[in-house]
Amino acid sequence: MISGLFGIGGGSLMVTAMILFFSFPAHIAAPTSMFMILFQALFPLVHT
């Protein structure tokens, strides 16, 4: 994902995109973004 280039700030891009482009409510978009970042952070541990 392109937001991965922005580090942890990529979550702000994902939340904004979910709200503006996909009409997610803000109270759903923020935890969804955190959940996505969790898997992005855990993948290198499992991939070794």
Q: Where are the domains of the chain?
A: 2-47
Burial class from Cβ neighbours inside 10 Å (0-12, 13-18, 19+) for residue 33 reads: buried
Q: pLDDT for 6-48, tens place per residue?
A: 555 667 788 888 999 999 999 999 898 888 888 878 888 887 6
pLDDT, position 25: 96
pLDDT, position 2: 58
Phi/psi region, residue 23 (left: phi>0; alpha: psi -120 to 50; beta: rest), is left
pLDDT, position 23: 95
Q: Look up residue 34 and give its two tokens.
A: 């955190």
Residues 18, 6: Cα–Cα separation, whole Å: 17
pLDDT, position 6: 58
